């Protein structure tokens, strides 16, 4: 694309039902256009009134994704970063709350010169301003509007993107609508009526979609696409099947096969090279047909009823499998149920991961999972709260620190081995006040962490208020636990490990936020590799027992 031309805008909306996969569709479009040599960035507009999702329950909203600059954002920004090279920041996710907050602050400063502040033009102008800011010189900005067309909350965003067509020119805007074409078993056919009604609703507010992505669990015939085009006033060549696939990393290839990126290039009048999708094909090959079998990873968490709560974590484990040409099968283990005493589920996995979380619920179950992994020599990986649980378990059961705990869970503990960070003392507001974003960590020579990273100084993303209490550091190191990584500025313990264990690693940061299918994070790659070794050793042990039985029986 010739530099100096106007930025192009692709607006993605969703209809019929929520959770259709707008984020994956937007990410896949970005991947396809980026593979044509274009500079692509993303923006997510969320209709909820929260300023950000940081204070929302994972059960309601799913994962909170954290960017390098410390923004707590929607989980779709994780998809954007995993599928594309663009770095997401605070400017790549705006909510209704954040938009209204900005407008109200301007009104308080008198910036509207005494005018009555209204949704149109003041709110919509603010939305358009953040859309332009997100562009930042990119060739294409893909703007995803959260929620479902018809929701009252999303109306200001839809009005703003309607206006954008006239602000920047029709040649620079494409509207993509993701909708559902369900298969009704009783009728024995796909039904287009929900899509027709969704597009009708969109057109009533002034937006005529240029492209329709029809989600379906099966192929949509040319005849049915023509019918959808006719009733939705869309060119038949702009109706595409967005069929279910076995891996999210197949989505760019599936949409390319449908011809979506060619149509977007045509509608936006973009001249570019053909996409180079070999690396995507290679990733899909490793995900769907790994050469080295399966490995089972047990995730002992408290949000296991909603796997979206651990979206980046799940994908980082998949990436660890890609790095080792192995398929990772996730077993979600409810930490609360472990507290009832049945730990048998932990013996069925090849590795145990204790993820982050907040609140006391399930923490004792996580501590039991850590102990099981340590004593049974099962590969263990603790992330954020997982590191804290590991230090508590070690303090109680190895160092003899009776009732060792975190001040988050027991303010009267005689051994607060996990304590509130100094910078967090006196903080009253909950939103956006944790230790957030990227911080440095210096790794010690001779540690597993240093071996995996292959360098001394690393940068990782954080999201926490509590930390390992450095007052106990000497006791822990004397007792066999190694502090493998330290923040060079504040001296905070960032990584711990047990050198006499096959793989026992904990980190205070969230490495899952920096893992990509093309660049698996070294901690996840190392963890999966250790789990594979444990799997193979157990298989050899079982095999040896099987071969010994007939001999013993004969004797």
Tell me which residue range forms the domain holding 529: 290-422+429-538
Burial 385-423 (b: 16+ CB within 10 A, else e): bbbbbbbbbbbbeebebeebbbebbbeebebbbbbbeee
**pLDDT higher than 60, residue 448:** yes
Residues 305 and 247 in one domain: no
Check whether residue 251 and residue 343 sit in a common domain.
no
Q: What is the pLDDT of residue 307?
A: 65
Percent of the chain with pLDDT over 90: 81
Q: How many residues does the chain have?
A: 555
Q: Does residue 269 fall inside a structural domain?
A: yes
How confident is the prediction for the chain on average, in pLDDT? 91
Residue 432 predicted with pLDDT over 90: no
The string of pLDDT tens digits covering residues 349-363 is 999 999 988 788 889
CA distance 153 to 20: 18
Is 29 within 8 Å of 142 (Cβ atoms)? yes
Can you tell me the mean pLDDT for 87-116? 94
Q: Based on the residue annotation, tell me whether 510 is a catalytic residue of this protein.
A: yes
Per-residue pLDDT tens over the stretch 128-156: 999 999 998 899 999 999 999 989 999 99
**What's phi and psi for 247, nearest 5 deg?**
-140, 145
Write out pLDDT tens, residues 247-294: 999 999 999 999 999 999 999 998 888 888 999 999 999 999 999 999
Same domain for 210 and 130? yes
177 beta partners? 13, 212
Collapse the DSSP code of 331 into the 3-class scheme (helix H, G, I; strand E, B; otherwise coil) and give the result. Answer: strand
Select from 220, 250, 283 the last residue of a domain.
283
Query: Does 548 reside within a domain?
Result: no
Instruction: Using the predicted structure, report yes or no on whether residue 14 has a pLDDT greater than 90.
Output: yes
Indicate if 103 and 201 belong to the same structural domain.
yes
Residue 531 has pLDDT above 70, yes or no: yes
Is 91 contained in some domain?
Answer: yes
What b/e readout covers 260-293, taking b as 16+ CB neighbours within 10 angstroms?
A: bbebbbebbebeeeebebeebeebbebbeebeee
Q: What are phi and psi of 55, to 5 degrees?
A: -100, 5
Of the CA atoms within 13 Å of residue 216, those in its CB half-sphere come to 25
In a shared domain, residues 265 and 295: no
Q: What is the mean pLDDT of residues 9-28?
A: 93
For residue 297, pLDDT over 50 is answered with yes
Question: Which pLDDT score, from 0 to 100, does residue 551 have?
Answer: 38
Q: How far apart are CA 506 and CA 389, in angstroms?
A: 9
- In this structure, the answer to whether residues 263 and 308 fall within a common structural domain is no
Query: 351 and 498 share a domain?
Result: yes
Kindly tell me if the per-residue pLDDT of 388 is higher than 50.
yes
Among 79, 315, 512, 521, the one annotated catalytic: 512
The answer to whether residue 553 is domain-embedded is no
> Which of these is catalytic: 42, 61, 319, 510?
510
Predicted local distance difference test score (pLDDT) of residue 423: 62
Beta-ladder partners of 505: 381, 497
Q: How far apart are CA 126 and CA 366, in angstroms?
A: 45
Crossing angle of the two packed helices 311-323 and 76-83, in degrees rounded to 10: 20
- CATH value at residue 270: 3.40.50.300
The CATH number of the domain holding residue 471 is: 3.40.50.880
Residue 308 pLDDT greater than 80, yes or no: no
Contacts of 31 (CB under 8 A, 6+ apart): 83, 84, 252, 280
In a domain, 194, yes or no: yes
277 and 300 together in one domain: no
pLDDT at 481 over 60: yes
Sorted by sequence, the CB contacts under 8 Å of residue 231 that are 6+ apart come out as 192, 196, 199
Task: Report the candidate in 91, 94, 95 with the shortest Cα–Cα distance to residue 48.
Answer: 95
Average of pLDDT values for 169-177?
96
Dist. CA 323–CA 345, nearest whole Å: 26
Element spanning 91, H or E: none
**Residue 1 maps to a domain:** no
State the Cα–Cα distance between residues 194 and 167, nearest whole angstrom: 31
Based on the fold, state whether residues 235 and 278 are members of the same structural domain: yes
Tell me, yes or no, whether 294 and 414 share the same domain. Answer: yes
Share of the chain above pLDDT 70, in %: 93
Work out whether the CA dihedral 62, 364, 315, 439 comes out positive or negative: positive
**Domain-ending residue, one of 283, 304, 337:** 283
- Interatomic CA distance for residues 417 and 431, integer angstroms: 26
Query: Under a CB-based contact definition with an 8 Å cutoff, are residues 206 and 42 in contact?
Result: no
| Among 208, 93, 74, 92, CA closest to 149 | 208
**Which residue in 384, 460, 464, 501 is the catalytic one?**
384
Q: Is residue 332 part of a domain?
A: yes
Please compute the mean of the pLDDT values over residues 104-116 and round it to a whole number: 92
Does residue 361 lie in a domain region? yes
Query: What is the per-residue pLDDT across 41-96, written as a single tens digit (0 to 9) for each?
Result: 999 999 999 888 877 766 666 789 999 999 999 999 999 999 999 999 999 999 99
Question: Which of 248-257, 304-313, 335-344 holds the top average pLDDT?
Answer: 248-257
465 and 513 assigned to the same domain? yes
Give the other-Cβ count within 10 Å of 328's Cβ: 26
Q: Are 529 and 519 in contact (CB under 8 A)?
A: no
- Split into its structural domains, the chain has a count of 2
pLDDT band at 187 (very low <50, low <70, confident <90, very high): confident
Spatial neighbors of 473 by CB under 8 A, at least 6 apart, are 483, 493
Strand pairing class (211-216; 173-180): parallel
Among 283, 299, 324, the domain boundary falls at: 283
Tokens representing residue 275 in the block? 């996409």
pTM: 0.92
Question: 254 and 308 share a domain?
Answer: no
């Amino acid at each position: 694309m010739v530099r100096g031309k106007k930025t192009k805008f692709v607006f993605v909306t969703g209809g019929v039902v929520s959770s259709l996969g707008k984020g994956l569709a937007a990410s896949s479009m970005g991947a396809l256009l980026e593979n044509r040599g274009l500079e692509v960035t993303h923006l997510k507009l969320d209709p909820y009134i929260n300023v950000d999702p940081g204070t929302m329950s994972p059960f309601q909203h799913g994962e909170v994704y954290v960017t390098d600059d410390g923004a707590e954002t929607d989980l779709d920004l994780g998809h954007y970063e995993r599928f594309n090279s663009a770095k997401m920041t605070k400017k790549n996710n705006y909510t209704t709350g954040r938009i209204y907050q900005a407008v109200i602050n301007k009104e308080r400063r008198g910036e509207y010169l005494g005018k009555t502040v209204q949704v149109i033009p003041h709110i919509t102008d603010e939305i358009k301003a953040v859309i332009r800011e997100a562009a930042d010189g990119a060739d294409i900005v893909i703007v995803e509007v959260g929620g479902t067309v018809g929701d009252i909350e999303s109306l200001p965003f839809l009005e703003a993107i309607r206006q954008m067509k006239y602000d920047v020119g029709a040649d620079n805007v494409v509207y993509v609508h993701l909708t559902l074409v369900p298969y009704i078993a009783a009728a024995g056919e796909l039904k287009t009526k929900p899509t027709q009604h969704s597009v009708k609703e969109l057109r009533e507010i002034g937006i005529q979609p240029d492209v329709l992505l029809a989600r379906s669990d099966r192929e949509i015939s040319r005849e049915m696409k023509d019918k959808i085009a006719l009733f939705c006033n869309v060119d038949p060549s702009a109706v595409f099947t967005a069929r279910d696939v076995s891996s999210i990393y197949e989505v760019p290839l599936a949409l390319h096969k449908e011809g979506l990126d060619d149509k977007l290039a045509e509608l936006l009048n973009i001249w570019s090279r053909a996409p180079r999708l070999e690396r995507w094909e290679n990733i899909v090959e490793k995900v769907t047909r790994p050469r080295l079998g399966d490995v089972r990873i047990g995730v002992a968490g408290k949000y296991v009823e909603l796997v979206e709560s651990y979206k980046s974590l799940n994908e980082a484990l998949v990436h660890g499998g890609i790095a080792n040409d192995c398929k990772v099968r996730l077993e979600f283990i409810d930490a609360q149920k472990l507290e009832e005493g049945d730990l048998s589920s932990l013996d069925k996995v090849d590795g145990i991961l204790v993820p982050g979380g907040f609140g006391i619920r399930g923490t004792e179950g996580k501590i039991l999972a850590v102990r099981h992994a340590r004593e049974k020599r099962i590969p263990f990986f603790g992330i954020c709260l997982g590191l804290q649980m590991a230090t508590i378990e070690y303090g109680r059961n190895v160092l003899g620190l009776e009732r060792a705990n975190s001040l988050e869970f027991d303010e009267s503990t005689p051994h607060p081995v996990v304590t509130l960070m100094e910078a967090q003392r006196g903080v009253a507001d909950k939103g956006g006040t944790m230790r957030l974003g990227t911080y440095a960590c210096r790794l010690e020579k001779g540690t597993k962490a240093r071996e995996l990273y292959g360098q001394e100084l690393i940068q990782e993303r954080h999201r926490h208020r509590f930390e390992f209490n450095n007052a106990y550091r000497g006791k822990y190191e004397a007792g066999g636990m190694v502090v493998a990584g330290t923040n060079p500025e504040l001296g905070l313990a960032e990584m711990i490990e047990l050198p006499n264990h096959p793989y026992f690693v904990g980190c205070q940061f969230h490495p899952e936020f920096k893992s990509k299918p093309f660049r698996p994070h070294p901690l996840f790659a190392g963890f999966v590799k250790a789990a594979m070794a444990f799997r193979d050793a157990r298989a050899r042990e079982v095999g040896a027992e099987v071969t010994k039985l007939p001999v013993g029986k004969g004797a």
